[in-house]
Structure 1
């Protein structure tokens, strides 16, 4: 009789975790490379990638998988943390000048805003309102920070909360200043792939007196599925010095004050 080996769910889960980590690290990888790396069949890798795509960790492409975003897919938070790091840090340092001690500051879940979160201890006392769990982790032990979390359904891919409870909590609050980033900017509009975060960010725009858009140059002249808002809904836009003259000129057509953060 043929000896049939049944793969345990534990080994499959372990392999999928290793696959997700590898794809997030490499950005893109082929099915063949994954099959060789893990010593399994291409069919097994295809099944693994199907499950990981269903979880929103990566997306399948012809012959492989990628962690890179598309107009319909926002990257896993772990991957986004590796992108445009110097640009995000420069933007965050520049944005700090828009915060005064004693203010209520509202923050989204973006990795660009997370760079600003790490600088907030410099301007305490503050009240900080956010639905991003990464920001909450950063601020829980900071003296002078009154932290208000908008909870709800937790989504591991984004390391953030969403849903009706989160929306209601944000709508019930009022902030002096909002800092937000998005997946893409094109023309006079900002775009986001996921409907859940479009709802949250629109509520935040309506809940703040001053609105600041933080956007690194790699997100300009791109689009995503949902048109979130017009640039004119913001009071300031901060980008980085990596922006080229043509894109900067297009951004200035919004007639919103544009600040360009220098890169070290």
Structure 2
């Protein structure tokens, strides 16, 4: 056992709060993870965790040790990266989290470009539940800006602004009365993500609240909600950048094109540390340049 291995395992366990999850993250058994923590506690002469049958929590000593351990690991990674020339090829893995809609429609083309430029990088793209805050398991988390999110563990940078608009299938519009104003939408079923089903509405550009009171389909699967819209099951409030393919083919068309949501922002969040890994910096710069 060595200090670096044990400290890395400690930080993962502190973030995940579960020996099983931490062991899976590290690619080892739960008993091996326990032995690493035992080694660290024995050499520090301190108890770092309170263990129960359901969860693992940091002791007071663990709470003091955690930020220092995280900073030390970041400094070690910075030392390794500095030893490698800034001109050298990027290597290793980059863990990214984003909602399913953002991942499939916005990020995938940019990930393809990034991998073409840096073929030695491996990207893990995981699904983030809509409205879920960033976590320390990922190098970069792409999500909508939330002004109430005040994190002591993350930094953030704005990627781009967007507005949502209303869309429907031509076949759907052909069989219903003409939609001339927002009030007409009360007679039409909406297709919603779980997030907007929960919040119940969207603020429009003019400050009005458009409430989602009449809906017939709720899902976080972008392909499913787009298929439902194309099939004429209901109408969809969404950012145009998510449906470029459907718009170009004519499968979906704008409804009330002057009606837009308030301006929203897509942000990239990443762990707050004294040093941001080069692969994280370059990926975020790639997104900001190409989006």
So what's the TM-score if we normalise by structure 1? 0.32
So what's the TM-score if we normalise by structure 2? 0.30
- Structure showing greater radius of gyration is 2
Ranked by relative contact order (alpha carbons within 8 Å, sequence separation 6 or more), the top structure is 2
